[in-house]
Every structure is written in C-alpha cells, then in structure tokens.
Amino acid sequence: MAFLQEKFLLLCLVTFCSLLFRVSSRGAVYRPPTVEPLTNHFPRIPFTQGMSTLFGASNVHLKNNGSYVDIVLDKTSGSGLVSKNRYYHGFFSASIKLPASFTSGVVLAFYMSNADLFPHNHDEIDFELLGFAKRRQWVLQTNMYGNGSVRTGREEKFYLWFDPTQEFHQYTILWNKNHIVFLVDNIPVREVIYNQAVSSVYPSKPMSLYATIWDASEWATSGGKYPVNYKYAPFVASLTNLEIVGCSMPRVNSPNVVSACLKNATALSSLDPVDGEEYARLSKQQIIGLNWVRGKHMYYSYCKDTIRYKVMPTECNVR
C-alpha cells in the first residue's frame, strides 16, 4: 500500500510539473502566461495579396495558393518579400518556422522600414532572429530607429521559451501613436511608449513591411567569427498567417508621398485600425506576460549597456 501511495504521489508531481513547463531539446522551458490573442482581431491574407518578391526570386516558394511561403538562403542568394503598400500605424504579423540545421550567421528579419525613401532619415521597427553559434539556439533581437537614429542602437535580446524550428510561432508588431509593441505568440516582449523623451526617435513616417533571410556572418557573428556554413544549406524559413492592417498607401518611390493618413490628424482614428482604446495600452494580462518574458528571457538591453553608452539615451531614464 505504501508503495502504491508513493507511486501515486510521484505521478501527481509529474503531472503538476508538466503544467508548469514543457521540455524541449534545450531543457525545461517554462510555460508562458495566458494572454488575449490580438492576432484573432484581424484577418489573415495570402502572401500573394499582401507582399511581393523583393530579391532572390528563385528562392521564394509560394504554396497553398499563396497562404504559405518559404524563403530560402543558399550559396546563390538569400531572399525576401516586401509589402505591396506602405503603412502608417497598424498591426503586422506572421507565423514563422525557422531552419533547424546549424544556422550560425543566418538571420531572418521581419521588420518595417522606409530606408528606400528616406536613406538618411529613415524609421525602422525590427524583429531579427539570429541563428545560433555557441548556445545552439536561435536568439530574438528587437530594435527601433526613428528619423535616422541609427547611431544609437536600441537593441534588446531574448532567449526564446520554445524551439522555433519545430513549429510555427507568431511574431507581431503593433504600432500606433501611443506605443510600439513587439509580441511573440501574442505575448508582449517589448513596449516602447511614446513620450517626450523618445519623441525624436519614434517612427513617424509610413513604412513597408519586409520578411528576409540573408547571410549576416560579418554582422551577427563577431565580425565573421562564426560564418554561415553552407554545408548545411539550403536554410529554409517558412511563413504563414500573414496579417497586414494599417492606414495604407501605394508604394511610390518618392519621399513626397503624402497619404490621407497624414493629411488630417483628426481623421486618423477612422483610418487607423489600432487607434482604439483597446490598443492604446497593455492590459493587465499583457503586462504580466511582458514582465514574465523580460524577467526570465531577456539577456541584453541597450538601456543597461554602460560600456557602450557613457551617457544613456534619454528614454532610458524615464520610469
């Protein structure tokens, strides 16, 4: 009887622990808090409707009537997509599955930029997934530039709480006049709140959405210390569940493009799908999720880099 009781208690303990974490190839990974899935608020569209090939056409493979796409890096080229329109504010999301082989030097970027129109004064909001070198796991980096503020990198880096090579995970950018929120599987990992301290570097001009895979050996691996090993090529990233909603305008190659989004600030709310109260600030659930990610998984923030910055950027001093 005692043996059966001990066995029963052990089974209960294992079951309880399984609710707290799951095991991946990298060890125990704690289960994140539950949050409202904002990605359920907006429609999914085919890549053929929302995006066009940017480069590496032979390495862009559309599937299932354009609802899926593989973008590939091999010895010949990387590849990438760009949105057919530019957007001012909005909600931008895709589910992504990353290459599983040795990926040092490989970077998958899902980001917004207007560098093509404003090469010396551009804005940018970045998700960058960096292939593994030493730790044998992908790293998530977020960044933001506004009005050409590229000399002050605003990077934050995270270890993921899942294996991004085994299944699809959602990467989302929410951008409006109140804040910019980076979300992974609907959990906020970073929030940039608009205020006076950050106003000069807060993205303020319409941007395109990009998804690219490329050889970043020199940039992402300590000056080429761990370059891409093409013995493991091709490196295939798969994307689906594309959501692109915002105040849009056609892609016109002129910095003089002015949209109805910008002509009349009072009318913006009717054109901006994320201008409402529910998108103005994080909910209690989302704040719990944000604190969980930043407390357990963030390992670098520019606001804590006293070696790089003798004088911290102004927004780092705002509580």
Residues with catalytic function: 124, 128
Tokens for 223? 């000056």
Cis peptide before 234 (omega within 30 of 0): yes
Residue of 141, 138, 137 lying closest to 153 (CA atoms): 141
Please check whether residue 86 is in contact with residue 208, taking contact to mean a CB–CB distance below 8 angstroms. Answer: yes
Distance CA 27, CA 310 (A): 37
Using DSSP's 3-state secondary structure scheme, residue 6 falls into helix
User: CA triplet 116, 119, 121: central angle to 5 degrees?
Assistant: 120
Query: Among residues 90, 242, 112, 259, which one has the least CA distance to residue 175?
Result: 90
Distances in whole angstroms, Cα of residue 90 to Cα of each of 20, 161, 245, 279: 34, 27, 5, 10
* Strand ranges in 8-67 using DSSP code E only, listed in sequence order: 21-24, 27-30, 51-55, 60-63
Q: DSSP label at 207?
A: B
Q: How long, in residues, is the chain?
A: 319
Cβ-proximal residues to 285 (8 Å cutoff; 6+ apart), any chain = 33, 34, 35, 36
